[in-house]
């Protein structure tokens, strides 16, 4: 039961560790393997379904909203990183985050980054069905208020 580590090596891109050990009582040497196991962050959809968080899916939505806008790829990457980090922190306790909360994170950051992208994302995310919904959001942006963020 009492052993000491003689040598440690990282294997498989840092996903596991190989340790060479020696029993302190008899000197017998053996190898142990340790694997890092992380539970994936789950996204709770509006209908209650759960699916694993996918960075690529988040990035696709952001890129689509920012299509043909004067925003650098580095800015997009930073925005996605910030959202992913915030989602991981908020979902840390239960290992899940509501999709609504994730969508609001995207909207807050797009509002600050690019108003056109904000309206594009909001129209899909909030499922605008009438012209009045678009006009309401655009007017709130034009008036300099943040009423469209609610």
pLDDT reported for residue 133: 79
Cβ atoms of residues 41 and 53 within 8 Å: yes
Q: What pLDDT does residue 143 have?
A: 60
Give the pLDDT confidence score for residue 54 in this predicted structure.
92
How many residues can be counted in the chain? 150
Q: Cβ(82)–Cβ(109) under 8 Å?
A: yes
Give the position of tokens 């943040």. Answer: 146
Q: Strand pairing partners for 29?
A: 22
**Tens of pLDDT along the chain (150 residues)?**
899 999 998 886 777 899 999 999 999 999 998 887 778 899 999 899 999 999 999 999 999 999 999 999 999 999 999 999 999 888 888 889 999 999 999 999 999 999 999 988 888 877 777 888 778 877 777 765 444 444
Nearest Cα neighbor of 97 from 106, 83, 87, 112 is 87
Look at residue 13 in the predicted model and tell me its pLDDT.
72
123 Cβ partners below 8 Å, 6+ apart?
A: 133, 134, 137
Measured CA distances, 133 to 70, 117, 122, 140 (Å): 25, 16, 10, 11
Q: What pLDDT, on the 0 to 100 scale, is given for residue 23? A: 93
């Amino acid at each position: 039961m009492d052993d000491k580590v003689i040598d440690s090596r990282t294997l498989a891109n840092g996903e596991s560790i190989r340790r060479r050990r020696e029993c302190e009582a008899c000197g017998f040497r053996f190898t142990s393997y340790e694997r890092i196991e992380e539970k994936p962050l789950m996204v709770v959809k509006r209908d209650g379904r759960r699916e694993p968080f996918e960075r690529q899916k988040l990035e696709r939505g952001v890129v689509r909203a920012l299509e043909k806008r004067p925003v650098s790829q580095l800015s997009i990457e930073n925005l996605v990183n910030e959202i992913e980090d915030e989602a991981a922190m908020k979902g840390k306790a239960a290992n899940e985050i509501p999709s609504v909360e994730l969508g609001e994170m995207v909207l807050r950051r797009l509002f600050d980054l690019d108003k056109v992208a904000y309206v594009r994302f909001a129209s899909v995310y909030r499922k605008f069905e009438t012209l009045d919904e678009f006009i309401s959001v655009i007017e709130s942006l034009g008036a300099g208020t943040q009423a469209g963020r609610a």
